[in-house]
Structure 1
Amino acid sequence: MRIVDGVETFVGDEAGFPLIIKQINNDEAVDLVSWIERNRGFVDSSILDYGALIFRGFDVETVSAFEAVATACTSENWVDYIEATSPRSQVQSKTSTSTDYDSKYKIFPHNEKSYSADWPRYVFFYCENPPSAQGSTPLVDCRRVYMAVPDVIKSRFKRDKLMYVRQFSNYMGIPWQKAFNVESKEEMEAYCQANYIDKIEWKDDGTPKITYTRNAALKHPITGDPCWFNHGVFFNVHAMEPALKEIFLSAFEEDELPYNTYYGTGAKIEKETVASLSKIYYDNAVSIPYEKNDIIFMDNILIAHGREPFEGDRKIYVTMTEQMRLEDAEYC
């Protein structure tokens, strides 16, 4: 443990991350925004070293106070949730629920919007009310994932890249207009052209099927560390929980699923490869149970995040800052 300007800092797990920054239990409360502003150099270096920080025990009682912490840590360069894949409810102008996805299912670890042409550099989670059981946000160091991926798998994805196929429908999932914040087919096509979506097809029911390729790994823009950065497992049919997989495959043919991933050539990713990658993520996952008013601050390139299934009235909110673009990334 180390005391920094009257606040405790210590590593939260034997894996060596995240760093927990905690209000010391005494009569003199520390204003978190002021503390961050005084110690911005420490915060900046720590987020690079640990990938994720947890601010704990501070008087952050409102969403506005949460957004002020995010601004103090980074900037007011907010990132909107365009190309949405998870249902969310807006809480405040820059903050939404982390997801409205059914509490009985886990969410696989992923880097926010890694499938998109742009993504947030930073992601913040705020715990207004912790769950009564489970419900933590597993954190995964993507530097370690990259190192653990077998060379034969890394080489295949570096050569062929990763193909995403997303298909919308009129009766399941987020409507395409809401997901892309557009109102017409023309706006949708213009968005796809501007954001490196290789192909858009309009189906008979008036909904789109989009296909595009992305890289599977990139170098961190400051440290240069190679990081596994994609939704290749997250969206793959073989990564679905058995009950969900049965539901979806009873409703759709495999080539008509709402989401799926392939090698960039269009070849199917082997079930064994998906299983190997999935195991690597979970072998490197760290879960810290939430406490009320916790804020998780993570570098979205260094850290993937997921969600455990949970019980109780879990209220976790999210905001994102510092947009990055595909053109500015260095891939590996």
Structure 2
Amino acid sequence: MSIITKVYDEQAGSPFLVEGESTHNSAGFDILAEWKAGNSELLKEKLLVHGAILFRNFGINTVSNFDQFLQLFKESTLLDYVGGNSPRTKLSKGIYTSTEYPADQFISLHNELSYAEQWPTHLFFCCVIPPNEHGNTLIADGRKVIDSLPPEIVEKFETRKVKYIRNLHGGRGLGPSWQDTFETQDRDEVNEICRKSNIELLWKSDGTLRTSQIASGVEVHPVTKEKVWFNQADQFHPSNHSPQFYEALKHMHKGQLENFPTHACFGDDSPIDEDELATVREVFKTHTVYFPWQKGDVLVIDNMLMTHGRAAYSGPRKILVAMS
């Protein structure tokens, strides 16, 4: 089996595609491993240029095969998702299901854990079961996003930063629980995790945990030195919901946004203008790249350069994810 390389979407410039020419070769992974040994520098270069690399037709379609891939391609230790904001199931050390939101929901584009003090450098997605229809993992280059946004919006996010607020229920309620979020039933352990991560927290009498943390709105990539749009303000802000659901949340919480399951404001506690968030979302749409999943695909993302999200879908879908 030979290997071909090209840009998947020439117009968008991403992702870079590494593809085995045969789809029925049991030795596909061994061939990829041999090819990778002589092309490591090429892959590093292409990941920085394109932000994402798609590996196709190498038979990587189980948890164990994905783990083999990770051992070969990861450059640092796999990370746990403790403190993350998305519902996931841990399948093995460092390997999780992708976000388990209902199939009919769109997941907006974002940089993984950009609301945290530390975030993964690379993300790895593996397609075990492709959806019947749609269900793309969407990607958009944060360099193009920041270049397309009005300078006054960029300046606000860069100087004021973003405060992320979460209200995590204790077992019943909207959104994730604090137990699932921090992968523990022990409040003292949660307190220690938050202390180490500079997360402010408040335990409420109804069993809810409120957390808040301030993070960047704009970052500089440590290798390319390029500025990138790096935040999840538009995703955390409740205006990201449908108008009907947003109005229902307002009614439920008497208009107090800080009591919503998630909320985002600027780091100085000033509100983020909803029209500006709408502009951010429109710019993301302009730069979103779509590619259909095939069984055995693996997508590697530079988490600072490239944002990711998910289109709604129908039928079964199983995408694995790991972070390093």
Q: Residue 22 of structure 1 aligns with which residue?
A: 19
Give every structure 1 segment of 4 or more consecutive aligned residues whose post-TM-superposition deviation is greater than 6 Å. Answer: none
Q: Residue 326 of structure 1 aligns with which residue?
A: none
Alpha-carbon distance between aligned partners in 2 of 1:290 and 1:84, rounded to the nearest angstrom: 25
Q: Residue 182 of structure 2 aligns with which residue?
A: 180
Alpha-carbon distance between aligned partners in 2 of 1:26 and 1:61, rounded to the nearest angstrom: 12
Is the alpha carbon distance of 1:244 and 1:123 closer, same or farther for their aligned partners in structure 2, counting shifts above 3 Å? Answer: farther
Alpha-carbon distance between aligned partners in 2 of 1:180 and 1:61, rounded to the nearest angstrom: 28
- Which deviates the most, 277-286 or 90-99? 90-99
How many residues end up aligned between the 2 structures? 316
Q: Residue 8 of structure 2 aligns with which residue?
A: 12
Query: What fraction of aligned residue pairs are identical, expressed as a percent?
Result: 30
- 5 Å-filtered alignment, 1:282-297, equals 282-297=285-300
Alpha-carbon distance between aligned partners in 1 of 2:24 and 2:89, rounded to the nearest angstrom: 37
Q: Match of 1:80, as an amino acid?
A: D
8 Å Cα contact 1:40-1:73 kept in structure 2: no
**Residue 94 (str. 1) matches residue 94 (str. 2):** yes
**Residue 281 (str. 1) matches residue 278 (str. 2):** no
Q: Match of 1:181, as an amino acid?
A: E
- Which deviates the most, 173-182 or 156-165? 173-182
Q: Match of 1:7, as an amino acid?
A: I
List per-residue Cα deviations over 1:192-215 (Å, max 9, x = no partner): 221122x32221113221122111
Is the alpha carbon distance of 1:27 and 1:207 closer, same or farther for their aligned partners in structure 2, counting shifts above 3 Å? Answer: closer
- Aligned residue for 1:66, secondary structure, equals helix
**Residue 41 (str. 1) matches residue 41 (str. 2):** yes
List per-residue Cα deviations over 1:13-65 (Å, max 9, x = no partner): 11111111111138875422332223211111111111101001112232221
- Which deviates the most, 75-84 or 290-299? 75-84
Q: Match of 2:7, as an amino acid?
A: V
Consecutive unaligned residues of structure 1, counting only runs of 5 or more, are 322-332
TM-score, scaled relative to structure 1: 0.90
8 Å Cα contact 2:61-2:297 kept in structure 1: no
Q: Residue 116 of structure 1 aligns with which residue?
A: 116
What displacement does 1:250 show?
Answer: 4.5
Alpha-carbon distance between aligned partners in 1 of 2:128 and 2:191, rounded to the nearest angstrom: 39
8 Å Cα contact 1:33-1:68 kept in structure 2: no
- Aligned residue for 1:255, secondary structure, equals helix
Q: Match of 2:48, as an amino acid?
A: L
What displacement does 1:320 show?
Answer: 1.0
- 5 Å-filtered alignment, 1:1-332, equals 6-13=2-9, 14-25=11-22, 30=28, 31-75=31-75, 77-170=77-170, 171-172=172-173, 173-197=175-199, 199-253=200-254, 254-321=257-324
Alpha-carbon distance between aligned partners in 2 of 1:62 and 1:188, rounded to the nearest angstrom: 32
Alpha-carbon distance between aligned partners in 1 of 2:177 and 2:131, rounded to the nearest angstrom: 29
Alpha-carbon distance between aligned partners in 2 of 1:248 and 1:70, rounded to the nearest angstrom: 41
Alpha-carbon distance between aligned partners in 2 of 1:35 and 1:205, rounded to the nearest angstrom: 56
- Which deviates the most, 240-249 or 226-235? 240-249
What displacement does 1:94 show?
Answer: 2.2
List per-residue Cα deviations over 1:121-176 (Å, max 9, x = no partner): 11011111111111001101011111122111111122211111111123123221
What displacement does 1:9 show?
Answer: 1.0
- Aligned residue for 1:286, secondary structure, equals coil
8 Å Cα contact 2:115-2:213 kept in structure 1: no
Alpha-carbon distance between aligned partners in 2 of 1:246 and 1:310, rounded to the nearest angstrom: 25
8 Å Cα contact 1:138-1:285 kept in structure 2: yes
What displacement does 1:191 show?
Answer: 2.1
8 Å Cα contact 1:87-1:174 kept in structure 2: yes
8 Å Cα contact 1:37-1:72 kept in structure 2: no
What displacement does 1:246 show?
Answer: 4.3
- Aligned residue for 1:319, secondary structure, equals strand
- Which deviates the most, 136-145 or 80-89? 80-89
Alpha-carbon distance between aligned partners in 1 of 2:23 and 2:185, rounded to the nearest angstrom: 54
What displacement does 1:301 show?
Answer: 0.6
- Aligned residue for 2:153, secondary structure, equals helix
Q: Match of 1:10, as an amino acid?
A: K
Consecutive unaligned residues of structure 2, counting only runs of 5 or more, are none
